[in-house]
């Protein structure tokens, strides 16, 4: 009997260890850092498909959105942050709140779908934002732009979803070089970052957006390939994002892989490991 009892106790202890580990990991992810894998090219060249980073959740304080969402459609798993922390939703406030700064690269919950998005903060509460010929104006003053050559990448399927890049130099065959125009954009607070352009399209010329109090205006750095605040939520865009929907600030890329799987070591981008996000 002693052997069976010892085996039973060992099994119980193993289960306890797993449960404790999951609880600790859950608390760590909720309060401090959340892993985030870049699934699309909307933030090129700042962030590439396959970049892996941790989101600093302490940067702006905590709200219902700080609770993790676990969505794995392949296995029918869909646990939304509101399922766990929905009681804190609705007042657009945060605990230990700190205001984000213009130019921050922010992960936030989409106000309608609840999916996590990552974009750059452009417009602050109360400001008027407009895009004219691809140039952002904030409260009537255009941001500084300077040409900076081009961004090149190989035309091939990228990431687990196998998406192909859009190119300014027209139709490019498999293995060809896909080119986009590159500019350096400097925001009013002095934050500079690269942006990419493919060509003229509707989102390069907009009306005036007046950012409501308690909300923010976001754009992707890959300007012609980003669903962001330029497009209303009902039309598949992001619209204005409430303060409480911010999850955290992206500060540093920890790992990067350009292949369909992170296990394909020959596709690892070692030059992007531990790279600061600006």
6/114 same-domain check = no
Q: What is the pLDDT of residue 30?
A: 47
Tens of pLDDT, residue by residue over 118-167, are: 999 999 999 999 999 999 999 999 999 999 999 999 999 888 888 899 99
Tens of pLDDT, residue by residue over 249-273, are: 999 999 999 888 778 888 899 999 9
Separation between Cα atoms, residue 245 and residue 247, nearest integer Å: 6
Separation between Cα atoms, residue 275 and residue 255, nearest integer Å: 9
pLDDT average, residue stretch 1-16: 53
CATH number at residue 248: 2.10.109.10
Is 42 among the catalytic positions?
Answer: yes
Catalytic entry in 44, 57, 119, 180: 119
Given pLDDT bands bounded at 50, 70 and 90, which one contains residue 207? very high
First to last CA, the chain: 63
Q: What is the pLDDT of residue 80?
A: 72
CB within 8 Å of 278: residues ≥ 6 apart? 46, 191, 192, 193
Task: Name the residue with higher pLDDT: 10 or 147.
Answer: 147
27/150 same-domain check = no
CB within 8 Å of 254: residues ≥ 6 apart? 52, 53, 54, 273, 274
Separation between Cα atoms, residue 54 and residue 59, nearest integer Å: 12
Separation between Cα atoms, residue 150 and residue 75, nearest integer Å: 41
Q: What is the pLDDT of residue 162?
A: 84
Q: Can you give the pTM of this predicted structure?
A: 0.84
45/175 same-domain check = yes
By percentage, how much of the chain surpasses pLDDT 90? 61
Q: Are 71 and 78 in contact (CB under 8 A)?
A: yes
8/78 same-domain check = no
Count of alpha carbons within 13 angstroms of residue 250, beta-carbon side: 27
3-class state of residue 163 by DSSP: strand
Separation between Cα atoms, residue 231 and residue 7, nearest integer Å: 60
3-class state of residue 201 by DSSP: coil
Separation between Cα atoms, residue 219 and residue 117, nearest integer Å: 11
Q: Are 244 and 63 in contact (CB under 8 A)?
A: yes
Is 119 among the catalytic positions?
Answer: yes
Q: Does the structure show a pLDDT above 90 at 31? A: no
Q: What is the pLDDT of residue 28?
A: 41
Q: By residue range, what is the domain housing residue 1?
A: 1-31
3-class state of residue 276 by DSSP: strand
70/190 same-domain check = yes
Tens of pLDDT, residue by residue over 39-84, are: 999 999 999 999 999 999 999 999 988 887 766 666 666 667 776 6
106/27 same-domain check = no
Total tally of structural domains belonging to the chain = 2
13/65 same-domain check = no
209/78 same-domain check = yes
Rounded to the nearest integer, the mean pLDDT of the chain is 86
3/118 same-domain check = no
Q: Are 105 and 46 in contact (CB under 8 A)?
A: yes
Catalytic entry in 40, 42, 226, 229: 42
Q: Which residue(s) pair with 130 in the sheet?
A: 137
Tens of pLDDT, residue by residue over 175-195, are: 999 999 999 999 999 999 999
Alpha helices by DSSP H, 32-163: 81-85
Q: What is the pLDDT of residue 225?
A: 93
């Amino acid at each position: 009997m002693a052997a069976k009892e010892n085996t039973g106790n060992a099994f119980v202890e193993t289960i306890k260890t797993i449960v404790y580990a999951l609880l600790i990991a859950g608390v760590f992810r909720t309060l401090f850092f959340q892993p985030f894998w870049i699934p699309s090219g909307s933030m090129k060249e700042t962030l590439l498909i396959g970049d892996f980073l941790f989101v600093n959740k302490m940067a702006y304080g905590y709200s219902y959105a700080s609770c993790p969402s676990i969505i794995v459609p392949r296995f029918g798993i869909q646990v939304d942050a509101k399922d766990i922390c929905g009681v804190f939703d609705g007042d657009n406030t945060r605990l230990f709140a700190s205001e984000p700064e213009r130019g921050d690269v922010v992960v936030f919950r989409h106000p309608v779908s609840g999916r996590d998005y990552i974009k750059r903060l452009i417009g602050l509460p109360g400001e008027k934002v407009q895009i004219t010929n691809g140039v952002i104006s904030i409260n009537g003053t255009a941001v500084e732009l300077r040409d900076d050559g081009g961004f090149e990448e190989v035309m091939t399927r990228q990431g687990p979803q196998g998406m192909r890049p859009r190119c300014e130099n027209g139709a490019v065959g498999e293995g060809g070089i896909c080119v986009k125009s590159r500019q350096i954009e400097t925001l009013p607070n002095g934050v500079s970052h690269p942006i990419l352009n493919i060509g003229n399209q509707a989102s390069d010329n907009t009306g005036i957006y007046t950012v409501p109090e308690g909300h923010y205006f976001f754009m992707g750095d890959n300007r012609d390939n980003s669903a962001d605040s330029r497009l209303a939520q009902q039309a598949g865009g992001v619209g204005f994002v409430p303060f409480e929907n911010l999850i955290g600030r992206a500060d540093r890329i920890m790992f990067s892989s350009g292949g369909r799987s992170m296990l394909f070591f020959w596709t690892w981008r070692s030059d992007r490991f531990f790279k600061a996000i600006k």
